[in-house]
Amino acid sequence: MSQRVLHQQIEGTVVKPFQLPYALYLPPGYEGRGEQRWPVLFFLHGAGERGDDLDLVAVHGPLKQVKEGKEFPFIIVAPQCPENWTWDRSLDELDQLFLEIIRNYAVDVERIYLTGLSMGGFGTWHWAVHQPRAFAALVPICGGTWWLMGFPERIAVLKDVPIWAFHGGDDPVVPCKMTEDLVEVLLNLQAPIRFTKYAGVGHDSWTLAYNEPELIPWLLEQRNPSFSFREGGQVE
């Protein structure tokens, strides 16, 4: 090697400020005092709801149902991703939101659930792999993962987490195969995963998914007695 080419390394710590606005739904009967602890559902929206208008997080999904009059027996936390950004690049910020919620609200840490649609479906898979012991169940909808980040094989870290995945069979935006590949890896590990593929449905599989009558009862049956959370994610 030429003596003019040197191998060097810089070491240091990068600290970055951030803001992550979020909408918060508190269920009927929530008071935040006493011994009662409540389940939490984190909801990650899709690409079309990014920006600085927090009302957008209620365009689809659970908070849309709240606007329509539906009540849920759990806390809902719906952060908003900045414009021109994605959830898989926001894992540190999501970790801080997670800590904010469990430190300041009456949360049952054994019943923390995560769901998201489209870009939020990607975020659901990626955040769960980043924190594989934090969530009692996952509901990723029309999402996927990035092969450059070690997927689908890396999804194996979720082999003990109950998952109900949804995708439209004719999705032209996020191919259904992106979910199928993850499901295949987990099924080969005998993981507790359910997969609903809506034949003839395009990208909007979330409307059907969030209206599945069994979904909320299924979620509330899931518990995570091995809950643990570590800032910076877990190395498996």
**Residues 74-112: pLDDT tens digits?**
999 999 999 999 999 999 999 999 999 999 999 999 999
**Residues 11-28: pLDDT tens digits?**
988 888 889 999 999 999
**Residues 191-221: pLDDT tens digits?**
999 999 999 999 999 999 999 999 999 999 9
**Residues 19-63: pLDDT tens digits?**
999 999 999 999 887 789 999 999 999 999 999 999 999 999 999
- Per-residue CA distances from 168 to 6, 23, 27, 210 (Å): 52, 27, 30, 13
The Cα–Cα gap between 66 and 79 comes to 16
Q: State residue 26's pLDDT score.
A: 97
How long a stretch of residues is the chain? 236
- Tell how far CA 198 is from the center of its chain: 21
Q: State residue 167's pLDDT score.
A: 98
What number does CATH give the domain 22-221?
A: 3.40.50.1820
> Could you state, in order of their start, the residue ranges of all structural domains in the chain?
22-221
